[in-house]
């Protein structure tokens, strides 16, 4: 608790899905001075907005979560925007943090930074062993530059920053917009909407063969807080739950939990994305004591319950 009591913390993306949970955890730990930069007030792609955010927040610590994100479809339609916006936000936030003289900068990268054919489980040392999966490579590479910048700035300037690589997150308050959502909210919405509309079938992208790993959003927020408190290196650290599930198994589980009784149509003309994804999460436990707590089925139930109550009002 004492760590946070006198710290001023700037959380970019703090009003977003993950950011809202990080802000809650900061408050629980006794942080009194939290500044959330909202996109409508601070477009962090622009340097002047970044400078203004630092001036207004006057932070000791920056937790950089703001990102331009989306599922496979959104990445395919916006590769240039996803690359430029993420690159510029990260590079400028870290550079201004250095010039401002902050104590620590915590950056969130992505599992999409890993090479397409990374051996499972993904170890941090595999990050540079090939090119990322094509559909989200521009996004993955832009976020990977946070790691390069963090290591370069530590070496030249002694700048204290770290870079975390989380798997796909899910949970209450997720983005359920079909144009840009990731796989779990997209599937939950399809099943619940189909039940509401008495539809007899849902269509799912791809073949169902690829595997993914998912981390409940509150676990991810806890990992970020622990890394901020305890991890002072620029070596990359994976953040995940350490399990693998195929998309076919995922669909079957969500169908079961939502009680959708209809048919599943697989649209194999749509891309599968990366063949397999699962992280080696041992380093996070060793370096700052993080281990995921929420079981996958329990997390899915909470997410479905939230969407039934609140989510479909926003989607």
d(CA 265, CA 268): 9
d(CA 171, CA 299): 7
Catalytic residue IDs: 139
5: exposed, middle or buried (C-beta count within 10 Å: 0-12, 13-18, 19+)? exposed
CB count, 10 Å around CB of 231? 22
C-alpha dihedral over 44, 48, 50, 53, to 10 degrees?
-120
């Amino acid at each position: 608790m004492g760590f946070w009591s006198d710290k001023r913390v700037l959380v970019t993306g703090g009003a977003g899905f993950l950011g809202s949970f990080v802000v809650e955890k900061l408050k629980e730990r006794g942080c009194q001075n939290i500044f959330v930069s909202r996109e409508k007030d601070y477009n962090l792609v622009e340097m002047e907005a970044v400078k203004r955010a630092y001036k207004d927040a006057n932070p000791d610590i920056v937790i950089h979560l703001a990102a331009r994100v989306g599922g496979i479809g959104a990445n395919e339609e916006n590769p240039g925007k996803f690359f430029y916006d993420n690159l510029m936000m990260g590079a400028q936030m870290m550079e201004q943090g250095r010039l401002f003289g902050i104590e620590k900068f915590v950056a969130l990268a992505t599992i999409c930074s890993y090479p397409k054919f990374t051996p499972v489980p993904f170890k941090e040392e595999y990050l540079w062993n090939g090119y990322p999966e094509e559909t989200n490579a521009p996004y993955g590479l832009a976020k990977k530059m946070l790691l390069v910048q963090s290591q370069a700035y530590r070496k030249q300037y002694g700048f204290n920053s770290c870079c975390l690589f989380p798997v796909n997150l899910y949970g209450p308050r997720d983005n359920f917009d079909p144009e840009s959502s990731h796989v779990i909210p997209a599937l939950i919405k399809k099943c619940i909407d189909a039940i509401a509309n008495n539809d007899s079938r849902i269509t799912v992208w791809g073949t169902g063969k690829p595997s993914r790993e998912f981390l409940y959003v509150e676990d991810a927020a806890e990992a970020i807080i622990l890394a901020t408190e305890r991890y002072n290196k620029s070596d990359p650290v994976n953040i995940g739950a350490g399990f693998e599930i195929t998309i076919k198994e995922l669909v079957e589980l969500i169908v079961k939990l939502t009680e959708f009784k209809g048919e599943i149509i697989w649209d194999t003309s749509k891309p599968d994305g990366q063949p397999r994804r699962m992280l080696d999460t041992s380093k996070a436990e060793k370096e700052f004591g993080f281990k995921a707590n929420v079981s996958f089925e329990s997390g899915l139930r909470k997410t479905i319950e939230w969407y039934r109550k609140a989510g479909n009002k926003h989607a």
